[in-house]
Amino acid sequence: MENFTRTLLTEIENQIKKIENDEKNRLTILKMILKFLDGRLQVLKEFVINYEFQSEEEEIKFFKEQKPKIWSNLIYYLSVYKIEINRPRGSVLTVEAYLMAELDRIKHFFDRNVEIYHYYRTDSIHFDKYYFLRNRDIDIPVNLACFYYERDVRFSTGYDYKISKIIANDLIELHINSELFKLKMEPEHTQTDFPVLQTRETWTATKTDLVELIYALYTAKCIDYGNIKLNALTAYMENIFNISIGDIYRIFLEIRGRKGNRTQFFDRLGRLD
């Protein structure tokens, strides 16, 4: 089981990266990812239904750790898709209020499930047999807002969904905060179109490396004496280097959240002879 779930998770991560690299439209990316995830999670469900766990410990590990790592992807991308497709077209204050309301939804889920949050985040194990084994004489919580997959007791204990939701909510919160940060940095949401270059060289380092470079140029006001907006500079660099960065603000928040040195790309450049 561990080898199967590890392989499946790696496949999911690689395909998501590929879709994000190949496509530019955000909603198209999300729809393609959701379609892919739906197929892979059907495979997981069929495998588990026909699999005989070798011990209670193996079953607990699957429903407590392995399945939530995979399932949280579907919850996250479906939630982001709903957030983006329902996003209002209005003033900065209107969009900000909408995003703050989405954060309140996460807080509401936390308030209703505070015990399982604490149980999961403190690495507790004393209720594992109650929470993460199937076919127990317990009722799945009636307020469980779950997918149709979760209605099958052969594939769910009820609480594995909540762990998946906790993992996904952390990512959703990061996405929303990156969008709020974007509003703060770019209140006018202007987008500059640049003519397509006849010859473009392709950026072959990581997107994170390029974002690090863009923020350095932007912060140091190296382009047009600083009279260029961040999204315009990003579009310019995307055009030059034949790449779609995607959500630059999310990547920047990840860079800012690095433990230790935040300028890994520039450090590598500094070590070149």
Residue 23: HSE in the Cβ half-sphere, 13 Å Cα cutoff: 15
With left for phi above 0 and alpha for psi between -120 and 50, is residue 53 left, alpha or beta? Answer: beta
Q: Could you tell me if 215 and 252 are in contact, meaning their C-beta atoms sit under 8 angstroms apart?
A: yes
Rounded to whole angstroms, how far apart are CA atoms 239 and 138? Answer: 57
Phi, psi of 53 (to 5 degrees): -65, 140
pLDDT tens-digit map of 119-171: 999 999 999 999 999 875 545 444 444 444 456 788 988 899 999 999 999 99
Contact between 179 and 100 under an 8 Å Cβ cutoff? The reply is no
- Cβ within 8 Å of residue 27, ≥6 positions away: 81, 84, 85
Residue 136 exposure: Cα atoms within 13 Å on the Cβ side:
18
- Residue 127 structure tokens: 């209720």
Residue 149: the pLDDT is 47
pLDDT of 137 reads: 53
The pLDDT assigned to 246 comes to: 77
Instruction: Give pLDDT, residue 144.
Output: 42
DSSP state of 226: G
Q: Give this prediction's pTM.
A: 0.69
CA distances to 82, 250, 251, 254, 267 from 177, rounded to whole Å, are: 16, 8, 12, 12, 28
Report the run of H or E that residue 85 belongs to, with start and end: helix 67-85
Q: What is the distance between the alpha carbons of residues 181 and 177, in angstroms, rounded to a whole number?
A: 6
> What pLDDT, on the 0 to 100 scale, is given for residue 21?
81
Whether 117 and 166 have beta carbons less than 8 Å apart is answered as yes
Domain limits, the chain: 2-185, 207-270
Torsion angles phi and psi, residue 18, rounded to 5? -65, -45
Predicted pLDDT at 193: 56
CB-count burial class (<10 Å; 0-12, 13-18, 19+) for 53: middle
Residues of the chain falling short of pLDDT 70: 136-151, 186-200, 272-273
Please name the residues in contact with 127: beta carbons below 8 A apart, sequence gap of 6 or more: 119
